[in-house]
C-alpha cells in the first residue's frame, strides 16, 4: 500500500495543473476575485487645473451617482411586431460626494474656489482601499496611476456646492459634479 501511495504522489507532482474553470483561463492570476471591496480607505483625488498638482480631498463621507446610462436608438421597421433598438450615446449624470466641510482645510477651500470659478474639465480619480498610493501628474496634465492600486477616473465640473448645517451635527456639503464623458476603471497590475 505504501508503495502505491508513493507512486501516486510522484505522478501527481509530474502532472501539470490544468485550469479548473473558465474563469482561470480568462483572467490573469494577479486579478484576485473578491466578493466585495470595503469603502474604508478609499481616497478621492483631483488635478488642480491651475497648478497641475494632485489634490486629495480630505474627509469624504460618501460618493454616489457616478453613472452614464446608454441612450436607446429605435430601429423598428413598420412590418415588425415589436420595437427594436440599438445602443446610442452614453449620457453621463451628475455624481455627488459628501464631505465634512472644514474652512481650514486647503482641499475644501480649493474645491469651493473651482466651483465659484465655474472651472471645466477637472480630472478626478477615486482610489480603492488596499493601498495608499496616490496618482501623480504627467507632462500633459493627466493622471499617472500607481500599479499597486485600483482607480476609477472621470472628468467633470462642479455643478453644486451646498452647505448643510443642522443641530447637533457638523458642517457638511454634498458636492455635485457634472460628469463629462465616461468613467474609466483602472485595475491594479501588481
Question: What is the residue-level pLDDT of the chain in tens, covering all 190 positions?
Answer: 555 444 545 544 444 445 555 555 555 555 566 668 889 999 999 999 999 999 999 999 999 999 999 999 999 999 999 999 999 999 999 999 999 999 999 999 999 999 999 999 999 999 999 899 999 999 999 999 999 999 999 999 999 999 999 999 999 999 999 999 999 999 999 8
pLDDT at 36: 83
How do the domains of the chain map onto residue ranges?
Answer: 33-186
Q: If phi over 0 gives left and psi between -120 and 50 gives alpha, with beta otherwise, what is residue 59?
A: left
pLDDT at 37: 85
CB 9 within 8 A of CB 18: no
Within 13 A of 190's CA, how many CA atoms are on the CB side?
Answer: 5
Give the other-Cβ count within 10 Å of 132's Cβ: 11
For the chain, the distance separating the N- and C-terminal CA atoms, rounded to the nearest angstrom, is: 45
Q: How far apart are CA 137 and CA 144, in angstroms?
A: 6
Specify the CATH class of 33-186 in words.
mainly beta
pTM (two decimals): 0.79
43 Cβ partners below 8 Å, 6+ apart? Answer: 56, 57, 60, 126, 127, 132, 134
Amino acid at each position: 500500500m505504501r508503495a502505491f501511495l508513493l507512486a501516486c504522489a510522484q505522478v501527481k507532482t509530474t502532472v501539470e495543473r490544468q485550469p479548473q474553470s473558465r474563469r482561470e483561463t480568462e483572467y490573469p492570476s494577479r486579478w484576485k476575485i473578491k466578493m466585495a471591496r470595503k469603502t474604508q480607505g478609499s481616497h478621492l483625488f483631483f488635478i488642480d487645473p491651475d497648478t497641475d498638482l494632485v489634490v486629495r480631498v480630505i474627509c469624504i463621507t460618501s460618493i454616489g451617482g457616478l453613472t452614464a446610462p446608454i441612450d436607446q436608438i429605435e430601429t423598428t421597421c413598420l412590418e415588425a411586431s415589436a420595437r427594436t433598438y440599438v445602443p446610442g450615446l452614453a449620457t453621463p449624470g451628475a455624481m455627488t460626494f459628501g464631505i465634512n466641510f472644514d474652512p481650514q482645510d486647503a482641499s475644501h477651500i480649493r474645491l469651493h474656489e473651482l466651483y465659484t470659478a465655474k472651472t471645466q474639465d477637472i480630472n478626478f480619480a477615486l482610489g480603492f482601499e488596499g493601498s495608499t498610493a496616490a496618482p501623480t501628474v504627467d507632462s500633459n496634465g493627466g493622471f499617472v496611476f500607481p500599479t499597486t492600486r485600483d482607480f476609477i477616473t472621470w472628468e467633470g465640473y462642479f455643478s453644486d456646492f451646498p452647505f448643510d448645517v443642522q443641530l447637533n451635527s457638523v458642517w457638511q456639503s454634498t458636492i455635485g459634479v457634472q460628469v463629462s464623458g465616461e468613467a474609466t476603471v483602472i485595475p491594479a497590475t501588481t
